[in-house]
Chains A and B, each alone.
Chain A
Amino acid sequence: MSLWFWVLGACALAYALKLVGYLVPDRVLDDPRVGRMAGTVTVGLLAALVVMNAFGSGQALVLDARLGALLVAGIALVLRAPFLVVVVLGAVAAAVLRLLGAP
């Protein structure tokens, strides 16, 4: 199926989720469990995306220049660098490591 189908479907679902908050009675989303699960799912998904993008290559786990990007980004975040700087440093780290011959 065309990627367009999934792009537009995901957009529609994203809007529906936002709208749901405005339409459902307060007490449904007032359940503290709903708020907590939304929080843990967000953290869990982002952590999973970090691991997949840093070490995943199809169905294999590999160590390559992206590991350097992960470490440099982590150091930049500890030093409170703004988001855009962190992203640029990640790119620079991976590009430099490849220039030096890393896979």
Chain B
Amino acid sequence: MTERRASPLVYISLLAAVALSVFPLYWLFVIATRSNDVIGDWPPPLTPGGNLGDNLGRLFGTEEAYFLKGMVNSAISAVVVTVAVVFFSSLAGFAFAKLRFRGRNALLLVILATMMIPVQMGIIPLYMIMVKLGWQNQLQAVVVPFLVSAFGVFLMRQYAERAVPDELVEAAVVDGSSTFRTFWSVVLPALRPGAAVLGLLTFMGTWNEFLWPLAVLEADNPTVQVSLSQLSTAYYTDYTLMFAGALVAILPLLFVFIAFGRQIIGGIMEGAVKA
């Protein structure tokens, strides 16, 4: 099946699929550069216009949307969560893959089970915890609960199993290096490719988090997704303004995708084979 050359029909179908996938993104860009009076024209505008600067100006000038604040908040929380998830997952993944200790298999099973549990449904008590801590409307409320991830531990454990030779760990131990030193200077460098994939997926996931930030943050201290939803609530007829906001909001993801697209594909496909 993989040997024969594909027919033109295959190419046509794939091109259609790619066009359907990419067109809405192009449309997002087109509308973000237009003015509101062409919305709804038929045939629709299909080329960029000259209003991007104006729309961006209105976007950042709309005080009650707190868009700039949302961007900064999302950037900070996504970076902190990503670094923490990658670090803690590598640490635990290394322990599960390469260290021997009592209860290892049972605890690993617990991690596998927790991957299936939709803990998002616990947000009401989680909110109460935040109230107790005085963290409502504080950025740490959308950071601290997400510093670890069961999926991350599992992924890094799988990766460490393959990418870190036992001899490497043993040699370091024999050398007299402490377990943490071994992790830091021998194991972590070997885990880098796996950690990169986990980091990319975590960054994208955190950037997209919506329900919890909407619950715990208020209008004046949003993440970018919450800010977008505020725009869509208050200015839902002002499409060029909302599209400009959506465009800016996907820029970090677009950048990550263009720079690391191949690695992301590799990560998704590798995870699929493991699962």
> Are A and B bound to each other?
no
Residues of A within 8 A of B (CB): none
Residues of B within 8 A of A (CB): none
